Amino acid sequence: MDALELVPLRGLEVAVRIWHPDAPRTVIAWHGLARHGGDFEGFARALGPEWRVLAPDTPGRGLSSWSPIPAQDYLYHRYKKVALAVLDHFSLEQVPWVGTSMGGLLGMLLAAEPDSAHRIERLVLNDVGPELNTDGLTQLALYFGRPHRFATFGQLETELRSHYGGFGIEGDDAWRQLALGSARRLPDGSWTYHYDPRIGEQFIYDTPRNSWADWRAIRCPLMVIRGAESPLLDADSVLSMAEAQPGLVSLEVPGCGHAPMLDRDSQVAPIAEFLAHPHRQRLPLRPQRLENSWWQRMLSWARRRENRLKAR
């Protein structure tokens, strides 16, 4: 990164990584569930010096504060307040948003709700959408819902290569950089990941949403990127997304699962073209009700699992 800004928010500190701080145009880049803003280094360099890239670390990740009350703070409606605080801090009335996984769902929330929709000029979703594969979500919840401890840094890097193989990362140097940005040393000298292990509690405490209603309510230009081997976003779901939003721009990235790193020209050039495309504002539609959304199913599963653990 080229600069770092620290944004205070109700007792927490939100770290915002910045590339090209003097560029004339700005884009927000928001990371996935257990990652941080540093993942957008390659994206920022490939996008070019005409774009200022602001990549916040969500509370509980990277350089941002950990919450003393995870059940209150590690929730989407709280992340929305964090996002709006970041926009206000940088005096951004309206901005394009690129979101990977959780960061994309947060962008959807902002773009769908009447009080914040005007803040999102256009939205790019990286391997996420209103309908996600339940098996893939379950695996995410299981992996990030338990602590990870490694005796050596090398063991942590080996685990990263296994778990994040879907990122499409190439070369030992790139994997080493990912490990350096993902590691945190414990008091006993062992290693773990950089994030608060309680971030997975959002699967238990977050409020169910009608994600398809959110998707249909969005009026800004939309783009979705899907890893061709994604276990989370099915190809059929992208087709359904396009039916609900006929102007949707889509890109499928070969050789990637969940989620493409957006760190090379073949992935970033289509995003740059989308960001430069003229914006045609559409009138809002009344959201349609859709029962049994993927988020409701995921929360139901997580709560059943929590009850089983308490009963032991």
Query: Which tens digits make up the pLDDT trace of 20-68?
Result: 999 999 999 999 999 999 999 999 999 999 999 999 999 999 999 999 9
Contact (CB, 8 A) for 218 and 111: yes
pLDDT-derived band at 140, boundaries 50, 70, 90: confident
Structure confidence by residue, pLDDT tens digits, 192-242: 999 999 998 888 888 778 899 999 999 999 999 999 999 999 999 999 999
Is pLDDT at 116 greater than 60 in this prediction? yes
**Chain mean pLDDT for the chain:** 90
On the question of pLDDT at 290 being above 60, the answer is: no
pLDDT of residue 308 exceeding 70:
no
Span of 53-67, 154-168, 276-290 with lowest mean pLDDT: 276-290
Can you give the pLDDT at residue 169?
Answer: 87
- CA–chain centroid gap for 162, Å, is 20
pLDDT surpasses 70 at 124: yes
Residue 191 pLDDT exceeds 70: yes
Domains of the chain and any CATH numbers: 3-311 (3.40.50.1820)
User: Can you give the pTM of this predicted structure?
Assistant: 0.88
Q: Tell me, what amino acid is at 189?
A: G
Q: pLDDT grade, residue 291 (50/70/90)? A: very low
pLDDT at 258 over 60: yes
Report the percentage of the chain scoring pLDDT > 70: 89
At residue 289, the pLDDT reads: 35
